Amino acid sequence: MQKTSTVKSVQSAGNPWKTKRGDEMHPFEIEMENGDVGVANTKSPDSTKAWPVGEEVSYHLEESERGNKLTKIYENNGSSKGGGKGSNKSYALSYSKDLAVAAIGSGLDNSPTVEKIIENAKKFETYLND
């Protein structure tokens, strides 16, 4: 079931474990302000990257006999509903690319370079992070 709420608290839910591909996953118990509680696994040992306390996020809640599992839902720009500093790079690059396409379509600039698109993306990312 898809839901949206604000992250209330995050705490470790056990020891890291390895996936079949060899990725190390870190389990965290996530409590949402709407009362939902469940476990979410992240690749980072820093839970604040994926589940920052105080941030509104969209997530999928899967109930099972072993407990609730939470999975963060990301939008096309790489962010969850509330966005986050981790998503700014992807958003900035996408926005920069959109401006380049618009410039080509309008005849303002027939050949934006990859370097120019990346340069603009870095400027947007800096702006979003400030």
So what's the pLDDT on residue 16? Answer: 93
pTM (whole model) above 0.75: no
User: Cα–Cα distances in Å, from 109 out to 38, 67, 68, 124?
Assistant: 50, 55, 52, 19
Mean pLDDT for the stretch of residues 59-87: 70
What domains can be seen in the chain, in order of their start residue? 2-72 (2.40.50), 85-129 (no CATH)
Percent share of the chain, pLDDT over 70: 73
28 band by pLDDT with thresholds 50, 70 and 90: very high
pLDDT digits (tens, 9 = 90+) for 32-45: 999 999 999 999 88
Q: Which two tokens stand for residue 103?
A: 């410039």
3-state DSSP percent of the chain in helix, strand and coil, to 5: 30, 30, 40
